[in-house]
A and B are shown apart, each in its own frame.
Chain A
Amino acid sequence: MPLLFDSLLGLGGIWLAWQALSSDNLFRAIVLFVAFGLMLALVWVRLAAPDIALAEAAIGAGVTGALLLAALARLDVVVHEEATNPEPSQPSWHRPGSGFVALLTAGLFIALVYTLYHLPVDTPGLRRDVIAQLDNSGVRHPVTAVLLNFRGYDTLLEILVLLLALLGVGSLGKCHRQAVTATGPVLDALSRLLAPVLVLVAAYLLWLGASAPGGAFQAGAVLAAGGILLLLSGWRLPARFARWPWRLLLALGPVLFLVLALITLWLEGKLLQYPPAQAGGWILLIEASASLSIGAILVALFMGGDAEPEHKDE
């Protein structure tokens, strides 16, 4: 029975991915991509990795789906404004070089299957080492211990990459702003009701990260969902917060993480090696500021890179 379920899950995921890639209609492709993300989250649950499942559902499916839809809406504006005649599209398998790509993909697939087949079935990996050192990590959940302590620089670089992506988007220049359509009482009431709940859930996920699946990225994604919901219902950042307070919020997590990394380098001689007695506090501080920044960065990405209010005279 589990085998049947897993096979359906795996095949369903591959089918959804194929449908999303081969769809001519971009909106349809995005909806399929979101469905694929949710399917992938279920796959992670089946692989007993609830941390990744949470992150996949919140960031991979939720926030990325919203980003893609926002991009599509702007793409429509650009296409309408330029009103060019696109060249007739030919089926993707007729393009030059597709045979080579197909061959490469097939080779990669065979190599992957071969490698997987030869992996030992039940390997502990680094699990034993992680569990042995868990008491020194400052948290009680092994995944958080790895992400924020043992391999903290991975997480540091991930957050810096997010900030870098935002800078990249911002440097593309002003985006076409969508006029806010009247949203109606239901969306207003829903966003007003859900925004505090989402803040609460984010704080809960953040706090839970010390002992169970959860943490900064999940909490940040939930915060971002709240922000995007507010944006969609017509709320805008007040002008007096849009410049440096907003940029401070964007940079808070990455900068604090970097500063603490340098302090540990100076104190203990190694990057992100916290003193074991205070490790829990350091991790909480890093995760709390990282959640705020991740949430803000994702919202800023949704807005197209900048938070400055539109000027009437533009």
Chain B
Amino acid sequence: MLTDYLALLLLISGGFFFLAGTVGLLRFPDVYTRLHALTKADNVGLGFVMAGLAIQSGSWLVAGKLFLIWLLVLLAGASVAHLIARRALQRGITPWQR
């Protein structure tokens, strides 16, 4: 029962981070800030969602698999964000300044 509430809390927190990342993607001024918002917020959000699902699954095996998936997404997300930003810099897009 308590674990249900904990999982719910984690899932809602994850949803909040995904929402924040998406708002950042839509509202931020240039490609670098958008990448920053999207990658960072989604990685944390996915971590929360995975933690919630791991608790709900009630199995260490499933929890381990979810953790590995999260690690892979972290790695791929961070690398892809870096690659997009690098390409943008090479094409001469200057970072936004206030």
Contact = CB atoms under 8 A, between A and B. Distances in A.
Interface in A59-91: none
Contact of A184 (B72, B76, B86): B86
A189 B79 CA distance: 9
DSSP majority for the B interface? Answer: helix
Contacts of B83: 184, 186-187
A190 interface: yes
B76 A190 contact: yes
Interface in A185-203: 186-187, 189-190, 193-194, 197
Contacts of B79: 186-187, 189-190
Contacts of A197: 72
A197 B71 CA distance: 12
Interface in A121-176: none
A186 B85 CA distance: 12
Size class of the B contact interface (CB-based, 8 Å): under 10
B19 to A, nearest CB: 15
B88 interface: no
Interface residues of A, number: 8
Contacts of B26: none
Contacts of A189: 79
B82 interface: yes
Contacts of A190: 75-76, 79
B43 to A, nearest CB: 15
A187 B83 CA distance: 7
B82 A186 contact: yes
Contacts of B72: 197
Contacts of A187: 79, 83
Contacts of B82: 186
A169 B72 CA distance: 34
Interface of A: 184, 186-187, 189-190, 193-194, 197
14 contacts: A184-B83, A184-B86, A186-B79, A186-B82, A186-B83, A186-B86, A187-B79, A187-B83, A190-B75, A190-B76, A190-B79, A194-B75, A194-B76, A197-B72
Given A184-B83, A184-B86, A186-B86, 10 more contacts: A186-B79, A186-B82, A186-B83, A187-B79, A187-B83, A189-B79, A190-B75, A190-B79, A193-B75, A194-B76
